[in-house]
Structures are given as C-alpha cells and as structure tokens.
Amino acid sequence: MNRIELKFDKSDTRLAGFPYGKMIYDKQVKDNINYDDKIMIVFPTQIEKIASSFVQGFFAEIVKNIGYAGIEKQVDIVAGTPELVYSIKKNIY
C-alpha cells in the first residue's frame, strides 16, 4: 500500500484553492504514488477544514489516472475527524 502523509505548516488548519491543491499534489504526491496499488492519503490532524477547491485541485491528477471508480476502490483517506473525511470524499466528485 502507498501511504502518503501530507505535510503542512503547523499554523495551517484550513486548506483552500485549486492551484494550492494541485501544487501540494505535485510536490508531495506525484513522484511517490503507485496507481497499481492501494493508496492511503493521510492529512495531518491539525487540518480542520478543506475547501472543495483544494480537494478538486489535489485529486485532479488522481481522477485522471484511475477515475472516480478507481478512487472508490483504491484510495483511503485519513483525516482528523470522520466528518472531514466525508467532506473530502464528497468534494472529489
């Protein structure tokens, strides 16, 4: 399984913006992801809110590679609360 632990400044508690999401994907995920295996994406517990724009920017390349069905089957998301995980998953689509 690919376990990708995202890193943000300790002061960051909210994430927003399509370009920022894409940049985080490009810098922290792009070279470390293997689409032939299960993927676990771990958001640090200090992250409290994630805007749909960030989620869409971050997951754009993943959707392009494995599609929405692939995300359902292959990608596990870990975040500080179940509500945040639900929000992230809902905003991918």
Assign 90 a pLDDT band (cuts: 50, 70, 90). very high
The structure's pTM equals 0.95
- Fill in the DSSP letter of residue 46: T
The domain ranges of the chain are 2-92
Between strands 2-5 and 75-78, the pairing is: unpaired
Burial class (CB in 10 A: 0-12, 13-18, 19+), 31: exposed
Give me the percent of the chain exceeding a pLDDT of 90. Answer: 99
Chain centroid, CA 73 distance in Å = 15
Tokens of 38: 């299960």
pLDDT for 39-59, tens place per residue? 999 999 999 999 999 999 999
pLDDT for 58-89, tens place per residue? 999 999 999 999 999 999 999 999 999 999 99
Contact 4, 40 (CB under 8 A): yes
